[in-house]
Amino acid sequence: MEAVVVDAGSKLLKAGIALPDQAPGLVMPSKMKTEVEENEVADGAAAVVVEVVHPVVRGFVKDWDAMEDLLTYVLYRNIGWEMGDEGQILFTEPLFTPKALREQLVQLMFEKFNVSGFYDSEQAVLSLYAVGRISGCTVDIGHGKIDIAPVFEGAVQHVASKRFEIGGTDLTNLFAQELKKSNPSVNIDISDVERLKEQYACCTEDQSAFEAIASTRQPETHTLPDGQVITIEKERYIVGEALFQPSILGLEDYGIVHQLITSVSNVASEYQKQLLENTMLCGGTVSMTGFEDRFQREANLSASAIRPTLVKAPEYMPEDLARHSAWLGGAILAKVVFPQNQHVTKGDYDETGPSIVHKKCF
C-alpha cells in the first residue's frame, strides 16, 4: 500500500496517496462540527447546539479529540484505509513545533490508528524538495502564521528562523475592517470577506504606488450573494501592503523581505548567498496578484549585499505549487524514507515510546 501524506493547516487539510507530481487528492477545511448539549430548556430536555471546532490553530494542533475525528474521516472515509489494515503515513510539520506535540501525534498514529509506519518532516524542508532544492529559504504565509526558514542541506537552521503569529486570517480581518469603513451600512459575513479577499486583493509595485492608488483609484462595485451591493476601492491593495508595512496591522516591525534578509544574516556568511538565491514563497496568500513581483522588487531594492531571488517551480509540477508545496515535498520524501526503512516502525514505537520521533524524524 502506498504511503499517505497529510498536511494539516489552520484553514485547510491536504491529504492523499504520495504522488510527487500531482496535487493532493483531498483538500478540505480543517474543522469539525460537534453537537454540544446546553442547559435544560423549559420542558426538561437539553438543547443541542452544533459547534464548529478548529483542531489546528496558528499551525499547531490545539484540540486532539477533534483532530482524531478529522483524521478518522480523512483516512477511512476518503483515503480508503480499512480497520486493521492501516498503512504508512507522513505528516508535514510547522516551524518550531513543540516536542510534546510531535510525541502526541506519533502516539495518536500508533495507538489509535495502528499505522504500520510513521514519519514527519518540517514544511520548509519539504517545500524546497518540491522545487528540487535541499538548500534555500522559505517564506511561508499560512492562514494563522508566517514562517521564515533558512534550510541548509535538508536541515532547517532554527537559530536563524522566525515565526510570526499573523497570517491570512489576520489579513481577512483587516480587509473586513476596511470594507466596513467604506460600506458602513452593509453587513458582510466573514466567509464572504474571505472570498472577496481571494478575488480582489492584490499588491502594488511599491509603497509609493500604494500611496498614490489609495487617493486616486476608482471604486468597483460587487454584489454579495444576499443581494447587497458594496464598493471596493483601496481595500484591495491594503491586504498585500500590510505584509510589507506591518504598521498597517498595528505591528511595530519590518516588512517580510527585511525579515527574510535579517534571518539569513544569522547563518554563516559563506552560506548566505546560496540560501537567499534559492528563496521560495509558500502558502495561498503568495498567490495574490502582484505579490511575487512586489516581493522581488523589494528584494532588489534592499541594501543587502546579497539579495533574495525567487525560485521558479519546475514545469512538471502542478501550477498551484505554492499552495501545496509542503504536501508535494512530503510525497517526494515518502518515496524515500519508507522504502529505505528510515521511518518509525511499530517495533520502534513499542520499544522506545513516543520520544522515538525525535531520533528518527529530523
Please give the grid coordinates belonging to residue 44.
Answer: 426538561
- To which CATH superfamily is domain 132-166+254-301 assigned? ATPase, nucleotide binding domain (3.30.420.40)
- Residue-wise pLDDT for 12-55, tens only, equals 999 999 998 899 999 999 998 887 666 655 555 667 778 899 99
pLDDT of residue 42: 54
State the virtual CA torsion across 251, 253, 255, 258 in degrees, nearest 10.
Answer: -170
Contact 114, 86 (CB under 8 A): yes
Distances (CA, A) of 62 to 54, 74, 233, 263, 337: 8, 18, 37, 28, 28
Distances (CA, A) of 236 to 191, 202, 245, 317: 16, 6, 15, 30
- Residue-wise pLDDT for 76-87, tens only, equals 999 999 999 999
pLDDT of residue 342: 96
- Residue-wise pLDDT for 302-320, tens only, equals 888 899 999 988 888 888 8
- Residue-wise pLDDT for 163-213, tens only, equals 999 999 999 999 999 999 999 999 999 999 999 999 999 999 999 999 888
Residue 362 pLDDT more than 70? yes
Mean pLDDT rounded to a whole number for the chain: 93
Length of the chain: 362
- Residue-wise pLDDT for 251-262, tens only, equals 999 999 999 999
Question: So what's the architecture of 4-30+57-128+318-360 in CATH?
Answer: 2-Layer Sandwich (3.30)
pLDDT of residue 79: 95
- Domain locations in the chain? 4-30+57-128+318-360, 132-166+254-301, 168-247
Q: Kind and range of the H or E element at 100?
A: helix 99-111
pLDDT of residue 64: 97
- Distance between CA 56 and CA 205 in Å, rounded? 34
Q: What is the DSSP letter of 290?
A: T
132-166+254-301 and 168-247 share one fold:
no
Q: Mean pLDDT over residues 65-73, rounded?
A: 96
CATH class of segment(s) 168-247: alpha beta
